[in-house]
Amino acid sequence: TDIKKALVFNLSGPFCLAISSIYMYKRRILFTDLQNILTTMGMPIITTVIYLFLYNPSVKDVVTGTSSNFETSGGFGPNQVSTILGLGMFIFFTQLILFSKSKRIVLLNILILIFISYRGIVTFSRGGVITGAAMIVLSLLFLYYFSNARAKKKFILIFVLIGSMGVGTWVYSSLQTRGLIEKRYANQDAKGRVKKDRLGGREAIMDADLKLFLDNPILGVGAGIGKKMREESLGQAVASHNEISRMLSEHGLFGIIGLLILLIVPFVLYINNRQHLYFLSFFAFWLLTINHAAMRTAAPAFVYALTLLSVQIKLPIKTQS
């Protein structure tokens, strides 16, 4: 075993989560500054999409089945690329509905959102796209709930616009993939036969993790050891795609305690942090992403930490004594 590679692979995600969370815990920030952070995250996502287009300008020529596609993912892992593009969908959705001050900016954000969504869909990796869509829906519902009566009327137009964009992007993706993308999301192969597993083989990995946890409920088998142990039960060394089952199998009771802290703390802080408009969307991104892509990228760790910020729409006016 390459010790250096094993340490980086297994500890970089949790280390990033710890540093980001400690730094952002209850740190005060204006909502506009938070949006600037999202915009900064969005710029490299645009360059990623441009690279994907240059790497594979013709989706129709490389899509032959319903498995995750490395060609349409720029040669990188489709799961990770889809995750980042799903985050990009949310970022430019918020730019569109909250920070587009002119018709040109509205049109620009619409085009970017559609292009990112399209390239995310044709990776044939469902997790990131579904996560991005869930973030958008939660954000819409959240903003609608806290809007006044006048603003709620405008949301009807926003719902129609976003819905039309979603349908149009999906139809175009279906045409470019000759209907294979529909079969992918219906869990079918290229011939239309329903696949036995719905999660791309992840069920077997989660089952193996749960068995390891039941055999080692207190301390677990140790960080990174689960991959070796699964080689004995599954016949091949497979890294866990699910961070929750991995924490149970590799950390045992301490993994459960860690998960409870991660799940409860953001909601405890949110009780006195109601101006954090993106709270639910950020939390959903972290939770859904670690369920299909574990902590393979820094994105879920950093976005989770953003839920811990103390966000203010406007700075409170100080009264002079």
Q: HEC profile for 17-63?
A: HHHHHHHHCCCEEEHHHHHHHHHHHHHHHHHHHHHHHHHCCCHHHCC
Q: For the segment 242-293, what is each residue's pLDDT rounded down to a tens digit? A: 888 888 888 899 999 999 999 999 999 999 888 899 999 999 999 999 988 8
Q: Has residue 16 been placed in a domain? A: no
pLDDT of 237 > 80? The answer is: no
Q: Which of 119-128, 242-251, 302-311 has the lowest mean pLDDT?
A: 242-251
Task: Please answer whether residues 13 and 304 qualify as being in contact, where contact means their C-beta atoms are separated by less than 8 angstroms.
Answer: no
**Domain limits for position 37:** 28-191+274-313
Give 181-190's long-range contacts (Cβ < 8 A, gap of 24+). Answer: 181/121, 181/122, 181/124, 183/66, 184/66, 184/124, 184/126, 185/126, 188/66, 189/65, 189/66, 190/64, 190/65, 190/66
Q: Quote the CA–CA distance of 170 and 173 in Å, as a whole number.
A: 5
Together in a domain, 249 and 295? no
Together in a domain, 178 and 267? no
- Pick the more confident residue, 315 or 13: 13
pLDDT of 320 > 70? The answer is: no
Together in a domain, 204 and 295? no
% the chain with pLDDT above 70:
93
Split at pLDDT 50, 70, 90, the class of 104 is very high
Together in a domain, 240 and 304? no
Token pair for 304: 């989770």
Q: For the segment 161-194, what is each residue's pLDDT rounded down to a tens digit? A: 999 999 999 999 999 999 999 999 988 888 878 8
Q: Has residue 307 been placed in a domain? A: yes
Say how many Å lie between the first and final Cα of the chain, rounded. Answer: 66
Stretch 106-127: mean pLDDT: 95
Q: Has residue 147 been placed in a domain? A: yes
Together in a domain, 164 and 176? yes
Tell me what pLDDT residue 70 has.
93
Report the domain count for the chain. 2
- Pick the more confident residue, 247 or 7: 247
Q: Has residue 3 been placed in a domain? A: no
Q: Has residue 186 been placed in a domain? A: yes
Tell me what pLDDT residue 119 has.
96
Together in a domain, 125 and 173? yes
Together in a domain, 98 and 181? yes
Tell me what pLDDT residue 233 has.
67
Together in a domain, 115 and 232? no
Together in a domain, 32 and 142? yes
- Pick the more confident residue, 192 or 315: 192
Tell me what pLDDT residue 236 has.
66
Tell me what pLDDT residue 228 has.
76
Together in a domain, 61 and 158? yes
Token pair for 125: 């990796």
Q: Has residue 318 been placed in a domain? A: no
Q: Quote the CA–CA distance of 31 and 311 in Å, as a whole number.
A: 6
Tell me what pLDDT residue 200 has.
58
Stretch 228-250: mean pLDDT: 77
β 310-312/28-30 pair status: parallel
Together in a domain, 126 and 248? no
Tell me what pLDDT residue 321 has.
38
Together in a domain, 62 and 185? yes
Q: Has residue 20 been placed in a domain? A: no
Tell me what pLDDT residue 1 has.
61
Q: Has residue 99 been placed in a domain? A: yes
Tell me what pLDDT residue 272 has.
87
Average pLDDT, the chain: 88
